[in-house]
Amino acid sequence: MRIIKVVLFLFIALSCTTKQEQVQSNTLSNASVGEKPKNVILMIGDGMGLSQVSSAFYYQKDSTNFWRFPVIGLIRTSSASHKITDSAAGATAFANGQKSYNSAIGVDTDTIPLTNISDILSTEGKDIGLVVTSSIVHATPAPFYAHAARRYQYENIASQLPGSHISFFAGGGLKFFNKRTDKLDYIDSLVAYNFEVDTTSMPDGGDYDINKKYGYLLAPDGMPKAKERGDYLTNATQAALDYLGRDPDGFFLMVEGSQIDWGGHENNADYLIGEELDFDKTIGVVLDYAQKHPETLVIVTADHETGGFTLAADHANKMDGDYNRIAPSFSTSGHSTTLIPVFAKGPGQDNFGGIYENNQLFHKILDVLRLEPQKKE
């Protein structure tokens, strides 16, 4: 009888282990830390803390795309100069792998230019793309191609885009190219560097020529709000994927939901949530692409949290509050130092779990690609 019980126990234990391994296998979707992705898509929700992410779970008509990520980590966002970072230092950490001072664009604490991830991956033959809802010279996209001592040197930053390794971009910022104080026309410079430049039509994908570059400058400065710009972010992201996906060596694409941050600065919950849902929808476009192209690693994170945003119970006129009604609130009009989530799916996804500094994201991407950082000469 005792032998039968032992055999039965071993059978149950083995059965449970097999089921657990099967669940783990399904969750990982054939994407372990040892695999090397061909494509990397980094999505940055500017100002997107955990409460901003949570809003997608409560204000979305359909299910949020955040459910689709099997790996989640946390990053600390402090810059080299301040406990609370700005977007420039945050993006410099992502794009260049080194913490710098607030307002730095692709430079170290001594204002020496750093080698960015676009430089490194372009030497591997990968095409580089940027899609944003801010201007293309703003604090988050700029460190992926430019170097400047201060984030507000927009004309200087714009002048560096034509000769950079970027081959597809979409966003605002037209006036920094053709309405400059120095009277120079950098639209002509973009054309000279083989860009097809569009200042009127929304990107819609289609028959892109892989031998050309494409740039969309669709607003004088930042793009309109989500409710006014329609499906720009999803369409521009899909267009970038259509173009970049033709490169046999793969690509790197950075997509920024820039105005989640702006809604936080305004303490405007409707603005913020509208931008978050637009970003969530775009995450769906990217994950659908990755599902069809499983050699694609998708990472979603933020540079910092903005607004001290909270999804609290509605206590208006009620001592105990209405726990079925959410009343979004803010504690600041600036940034906070709260830890930021990192979501990952695809080859190498396990590398992005845990808790780490924001500049480690750069090194983790290079690690899964089996590349080494390069020093700027």
Greater model confidence, 316 or 130: 130
Q: How far is CA 217 from CA 54, 179, 190, in A?
A: 32, 13, 11
Q: Are strands 296-301 and 39-45 parallel, antiparallel or unpaired?
A: parallel
The pLDDT confidence band at residue 206, using thresholds 50, 70 and 90, is: confident
The C-alpha atoms of residue 104 and residue 92 are separated, in whole angstroms, by 7
Residue 187 domain-assigned? no
Residue 244 domain-assigned? no
Residue 362 domain-assigned? yes
Residue 373: the pLDDT is: 81
The pLDDT confidence band at residue 319, using thresholds 50, 70 and 90, is: low
* Close Cβ partners of 210 (under 8 Å, ≥ 6 residues apart): 243, 246, 247
- pLDDT tens digits for range 173-191: 999 999 999 999 999 999 9
Residue 348 domain-assigned? yes
* Close Cβ partners of 206 (under 8 Å, ≥ 6 residues apart): 239, 242
- Report whether 146 contacts 106 (CB < 8 A): yes
pTM of the model: 0.90
Residue 267 domain-assigned? yes
Report, as an integer, the average pLDDT of 59-74.
Answer: 95
Asked if pLDDT for residue 145 goes beyond 80, the answer is: yes
- Torsional sign, CA 330, 66, 258, 113: positive
87 in active site: yes
Residue 265: the pLDDT is: 98
Of 87, 134, 164, 336, the active-site residue reads 87
Please state at what angle helix 269-292 crosses helix 50-58, rounded to 10 degrees: 80
Residue 20 one-letter amino acid:
Q
| SS3 label, residue 75 | strand
Residue 375 domain-assigned? no
Compute the mean pLDDT over every residue in the chain, rounded to the nearest whole number. 91
The C-alpha atoms of residue 247 and residue 188 are separated, in whole angstroms, by 26
Structural domain count, the chain: 1
Question: Domain of 301?
Answer: 40-165+258-308+329-368
Q: Over the range 50-61, which residues count as b (16 or more CB within 10 Å of their CB) and which as e?
A: bbbbbbbeebbe
CATH at 49:
3.40.720.10
CA triple 190-195-198, angle to 5 deg = 90
Residue 80 domain-assigned? yes
Query: What are the structure tokens assigned to 92, written together?
Result: 């410099």
Residue 3: the pLDDT is: 43
- pLDDT tens digits for range 259-300: 999 999 999 999 999 999 999 999 999 999 999 999 999 999
Residue 88 domain-assigned? yes
Residue 171 one-letter amino acid:
G
The C-alpha atoms of residue 166 and residue 77 are separated, in whole angstroms, by 26
